[in-house]
Amino acid sequence: MMKMKTLVMKSITMALMALIVLSCEKDEKSNPTITWNNPADIDYGIALDETQLNATASVEGQFYYTPKAGTVMEVGAEQELSVRFTPEDKGSYKEATASVLINVLPAEPEIIWEKPADIVYETALSETELNATANIAGTFTYTPELGTLLFAGNEQELMVEFVPEDTERYQPVSKTVLINVLKQDPVITWEQPMDMFFYMGDPQPLTEKQLNATANMEGTMNYIGIVAGATVLSPGKRELQAQFVPADTDNYNTVTKSVTVHVSESAGYVRDVEGNKYHTVQIGEQVWMAENLATTKYNDGTEITLYDGSDNDIPMYEWPNYEASNKFDEVLGGTYNWYVVETGKLCPSGWHVPSSAEWTILTDYLIEQNYFAGEEKNSQGDPNVAKALSSSNWDELETEGPYTPADRTYSELMNVVGFTAVPNKRGKFYDGVVFDEVYWWTSANVSATLGRTRLIDSYRAGVDIIDAHKSFRHSIRCIKD
């Protein structure tokens, strides 16, 4: 019995000693030291990465983060990040945990807004300039606002404030860009002056008839190198230049504009019985009036009857109603039916209405001088010399034919001999084609009802021969006896 007790006690003692040994072994594992500071604040939308999840330990091992790398956290302050550390030497080190706090701030939206192109004063700000975009939905508010007119000046500030729809995750932001507002050019309106004449015996200076440029705003118009009422132009194509200085020089530029005036050398002038003055030009051996006759009296002083709307055979005149342009008003002259021509008393003394043959002498001379455009004659056999006889002031028309007075090719031929023909009526073909034209009576009597005319229009290049009813009213160019 005693022996049995001894054995039991011995077994218990050994078991207790084993437990003590195991306990000692367990207590010998160390706690790793984890170092992990609170990360810097981040904006919403930034995924967690090694910048935030950067804990270190005193021994080798694996880190397991919550939330894990790549997580996009919601906006909020002091949000917890935690890590569990598993040491490689599990026999010597315990697992460990740690946590830090991070602030996730509302993000700044990205605004894309390039510097706008320069604009000109009086250009209202539009979506062309106020065209910022953002990487999220929201509302743009511009200063200055849409439609604002900025004064001229460089590097003026435009600002936009952007308020996102999602105000919890994103914060309002603003952006500025700079824009240049250039001075505007005033608009000078100055039509080409009517062709002029130079005659040494009676020089005609430039006047407000030629110097009539206007601008679309207040300011001062100066004519460069010209004294109104004193400057006389010599024959040729002469350039006139105007300079406009705006009253508002802060927002508008000083501008210039040039026009060309054609000056023909006059052979002198002649007056009709009413005292109307007509310049004359010598073309070959002939001397022609360079302007349409404008008398209301015969050369004996007798009144010519004003046209009353009838088509009878009474000699009558009327003033043309050329509604297409008023720039020719002072040079259109009158129009007369053929019965006035028939009296032989229409032109000033020493002058007469030219015959059809005298017109042919004129056009033949122009061909001899190579003053034709394109071919010498058109398909109808008419001489293509209309340009040489026509004022440079004919209007350009969409429907003009080639080499006509309204066509700008062969411009060097325009009015080369100073005849200065201008249109005094506008016609229209059955197909809607619009053209300008001028007819002149000749003294040729074709029949009891027809007289012969010469025609220049903007549809053909030739000087046409047209037989017209004697009651029609046409222009007159007198030729010297």
**pLDDT greater than 50 at residue 17:** no
Q: Summarize pLDDT for 86-113 with one digit per residue, the tens.
A: 999 999 999 999 999 999 999 999 999 9
**pLDDT greater than 50 at residue 34:** yes
pLDDT at 375: 87
pLDDT at 382: 86
pLDDT at 381: 83
DSSP 8-class letter at 478: -
Which amino acid appears at position 319 of this protein? W
Where residue 24 falls among pLDDT bands split at 50, 70, 90?
A: very low
Mean pLDDT along residues 243-269: 96
Where residue 458 falls among pLDDT bands split at 50, 70, 90?
A: confident
Q: Summarize pLDDT for 210-238 with one digit per residue, the tens.
A: 999 999 999 999 999 999 999 999 999 99
Quick one: the chain helix, strand, coil %, rounded to 5? 10, 35, 55
Q: Cβ neighbours of residue 329 under 8 Å, at least 6 residues apart? A: 322
Where residue 39 falls among pLDDT bands split at 50, 70, 90?
A: very high
Candidates 222, 217, 219; CA nearest to 242 is 222
240, 223 contact by CB (below 8 A): yes
Q: Which residues pair with 85 in a beta bridge?
A: 63, 96
Q: Which of 173-182, 425-434, 447-456 has the lowest mean pLDDT?
A: 425-434
Question: How many other C-beta atoms are found inside a 10 Å radius of the C-beta of residue 312?
Answer: 9
Q: Is the domain covering 30-105 a CATH 3.40.50.2300 domain?
A: no
Q: Which of 110-119, 184-193, 431-440, 451-460 has the lowest mean pLDDT?
A: 431-440
Q: Summarize pLDDT for 322-350 with one digit per residue, the tens.
A: 776 666 777 889 999 999 999 999 999 99
Q: Mean pLDDT over all residues of the chain? A: 90
Q: Which residues pair with 163 in a beta bridge?
A: 139
- What's the length of the chain? 481
Mean pLDDT along residues 31-55: 96
Question: How many other C-beta atoms are found inside a 10 Å radius of the C-beta of residue 218?
Answer: 10
Query: Does residue 315 have a cis peptide bond before it, meaning omega lies within 30 degrees of 0?
Result: no
pTM: 0.75
Angle at 187 between CA 182 and CA 189, to 5 degrees: 170
**pLDDT greater than 50 at residue 21:** no
Phi-psi region of 415 (alpha: psi -120 to 50; beta: other; left: phi over 0): left
pLDDT at 22: 41
Q: Where is pLDDT greater, at 406 or 175? A: 175
Say if 30-105 and 111-182 have the same CATH topology: yes
Architecture of domain 111-182: Sandwich (2.60)
pLDDT at 400: 60
**pLDDT greater than 90 at residue 8:** no
DSSP 8-class letter at 250: T
Mean pLDDT along residues 253-258: 98
The DSSP H or E segment spanning 86 is strand 76-87
Where residue 13 falls among pLDDT bands split at 50, 70, 90?
A: very low
Mean pLDDT along residues 119-138: 97
Candidates 401, 400, 402, 404; CA nearest to 421 is 404
Domain ranges of the chain: 30-105, 111-182, 188-265, 268-480
Q: Where is pLDDT greater, at 228 or 403? A: 228
C-alpha–C-alpha distance, residues 411 and 419, integer Å: 15
pLDDT at 408: 77
Q: Which CATH number fits domain 188-265: 1.10.10, 1.10.1660, 3.40.30, 2.60.40?
A: 2.60.40
Q: Is 316 exposed, middle or buried (0-12, 13-18, 19+ CB in 10 A)?
A: buried
Question: How many other C-beta atoms are found inside a 10 Å radius of the C-beta of residue 240?
Answer: 22
Mean pLDDT along residues 349-375: 95
pLDDT at 401: 67
451, 321 contact by CB (below 8 A): no
